[in-house]
A = this chain, B = another copy of it.
Amino acid sequence: MAPYTAPVDDIGFLLERIFNFDGVMQDLRGFEEVNAELAVTVMEEAGKFATGVLEPINRAGDEEGSTLENGVVRTPKGMADAYKTFVEAGWGGLSGDPEFGGQGLPRVLQLLLDEMMASANLSFGLFPGLTRGAAEAIAHHADDTLKQTYLSKMTSGEWTGAMALTEASAGTDLGLLSTRAEPVGDGSYKLKGTKIFISSGDHDFGGNIIHLVLARLPDAPKGVKGISLFLAPKFLVNADGSLGDRNTMSVGSLEHKMGIHAQPTCVMNYDGATAWLVGEAGRGLNAMFTMMNAERLMVGIQGLGIAEAAVQKASDYARQRLQGRSADGAHSPVPIIEHPDVRKMLLTGRSFIEAARALAVWTALQMDTADRHSDEKTRNEAGNLVALLTPVVKASFTDFGFETAVLAQQVFGGHGYIREWGMEQFVRDARITQIYEGTNGVQALDLVSRKLPLENGGVVRGLFETMRQDMQSAAKTDAAKTIAESSLAALKQFEAVTETLLSRQSDAAFTGGAATDYQRMFALVCFGWMWTKMAKEAAGKTNDFERRKTVLADFFSHRMLPQTEALAKAIENGAVSIMALDAELF
């Protein structure tokens, strides 16, 4: 099959023609010199790395998997070399803080790099992803000594990071965790406990592995208020920065998983591991949540990235696979891409992917704005929009991403079920993105119960106003009229559903029962908004790129957006039947 092609043209289109990237950057402290030309050049190089280094080891890595022998984790052939290449090329520090050696480029480029890594090799992408998340938590919450000791090498990627939150009895509900931290008296602590599902918990890349571990101090209250965050390195670090003794932590086992086999997901035993407090005691969850938005956006983009790769492969296969007769009966066999149902499967994926990428870029630009705009009000508004959109991006991109991977597999018929073709790996790998970093059900609950009420509904209403203006403006353009008008209708219905949810915040059954449907509807309306913007820009132009965008916008309008009507009705029908049965009658 043809190798993965990074969507650099689409990225250029979004940055230059949809989101006024250069203009936005000029207002952001430290990004004044960043422009779309530079961004596209960086993304081209990123694409070469994804295609040339990461994709070639993806299938074999799935077959071989990571292994644990005598306490030593081995990643599949080629992973360690690929990681070395990654670090040496400077990709680890793309959006890293220049104070610690990072390149200081915007988050939006980081997110697009993350998409490419997910397309080419999801298991690999988790190493830098978690390293960045851990570094961000340290940067925001740790004291200067910890920052100086760890951040430079984590920013470059020479040392990696891991997040140790989950325990066997404490998943979504971290308040139940029982790992303990005993103060030693010299400012350090001894960690005792077992954590599960620890991505990148260990590896054979060399360097150090910095674990951020949630644990309880001896006098901590029950529940989430008793949770603190600790830093425990695999190797203690000497005063000169060199690696010292092995810390007393070990890999108990590797998890046997449905997918991401190349990724060593560890059960970690902390047997009195030396650790340091990060941030305030009892504020551990708060410290983790600092970086949660970025992590959740990254997971969302992973769903998108897998979908992009899967649809590329399926389109390629559909152009080459000859089966069946043409619609007019005149030719046989024909490439299956001539069959309407095959086209529909591919278009369903495409019309999600390109709208989702646009929404991801928009959201990441809000994030950069929230970090760096000179105007506080602008920063706050952007930050609120990021908070609102984060659960939507995480859950919907991974749900649609998984569904797209399944459709792309279906295009291959029986061959899609056979491992050698690689399509079933996309499905197995994509599945984790709906679960980790907070299940999609938890994202949806976060959306309806925490994010909608932001500013008494002012944030979501403000977003609707922005959408409406874009849609109304596009509705005047002939080529964008279809998508603009159907999006306006969907928005109107969605606003009504939103007001219902805002007015019933005290009804936990209603909002909880509505959550996942609402989250999906939110995403579809946002996708309609993004297609409207793109169709308007493409309007009136006759070359392939723009004509293609117009058709995809029409397809989305005709065949995908109608889902919103069913979702609205389901939500409005309420949760009485959801809550009626006793547990034992399920």
Interface residues of A (CB under 8 A from B): 166, 169-173, 175-176, 196-197, 223, 255-259, 315, 318-319, 322-324, 327-328, 332-333, 335, 337-347, 350, 402, 406, 409-410, 413-420, 424, 427-428, 431-432, 434-436, 439-441, 444-445, 508-509, 512-513, 515-516, 544, 547-548, 551-552, 554-555, 557-560, 562-567, 569-570, 573-581, 583-586
Contact = CB atoms under 8 A, between A and B. Distances in A.
SS of A interface (majority): helix
A268 to B, nearest CB: 14
Contact of A551 (B175, B315, B580): B580
A440 B410 contact: yes
B435 A417 contact: yes
A346 B586 contact: yes
A438 to B, nearest CB: 10
A328 B579 CA distance: 13
Nearest to A510: B340
Contact of A176 (B169, B255, B323, B577): B323
A559 B570 contact: yes
B570 A558 contact: yes
A435 B332 CA distance: 22
A576 B554 contact: yes
A569 B579 contact: no
A341 B562 contact: no
A318 B434 CA distance: 18
A173 B410 contact: no
A336 to B, nearest CB: 8
A416 B579 CA distance: 24
B257 A585 contact: no
Nearest to A341: B441
A278 to B, nearest CB: 24
Contact of A512 (B327, B335, B574): B327
A342 B440 CA distance: 11
B578 A559 contact: yes
12 contacts: A173-B333, A176-B322, A257-B419, A327-B512, A340-B515, A340-B579, A544-B585, A551-B577, A554-B577, A557-B577, A565-B565, A565-B566
Given A173-B323, A558-B577, A339 B512 contact: yes
A580 B548 CA distance: 9
Given A340-B578, A343-B579, A551-B577, 11 more contacts: A175-B332, A340-B513, A340-B575, A341-B513, A343-B581, A347-B578, A410-B440, A410-B441, A548-B585, A558-B574, A564-B566
Contacts of A557: 573, 577
A444 B173 contact: no
B418 A257 contact: yes
Contact of A340 (B169, B439, B512): B512
A48 to B, nearest CB: 22
Nearest to A172: B323
A431 B417 contact: yes
Nearest to A444: B341
B258 A427 contact: yes
A152 to B, nearest CB: 32
A176 to B, nearest CB: 6
Given A319-B583, A424-B258, A176 B333 contact: yes
A337 B586 contact: yes
Contacts of A424: 257-258, 428, 431
Given A428-B428, A565-B566, A171 B414 contact: yes
A312 B436 CA distance: 23
Nearest to A507: B327
A350 B586 contact: yes
Contacts of A551: 577, 580-581
Q: Most chain-B Cβ atoms within 10 A of its Cβ — which of A259, A413, A554, A567?
A: A413
Nearest to A584: B319
A331 to B, nearest CB: 12
Contact of A569 (B344, B512, B565, B578): B565
A185 B169 CA distance: 72
A417 B444 contact: no
Contact of A578 (B173, B555, B566, B578): B555
A573 B586 contact: no
A27 to B, nearest CB: 36
Contacts of A586: 315, 318-319, 337, 343, 346-347, 350
A548 B513 contact: no
A557 to B, nearest CB: 8
A35 B426 CA distance: 48
A559 B583 contact: no
Q: Most chain-B Cβ atoms within 10 A of its Cβ — which of A432, A569, A576?
A: A569
Contacts of A445: 341
A66 B330 CA distance: 44
Closest 9 CB pairs of A and B: A340-B512, A558-B573, A258-B424, A327-B508, A173-B323, A566-B566, A562-B569, A555-B577, A554-B577
A414 B166 contact: yes
A197 B414 contact: yes
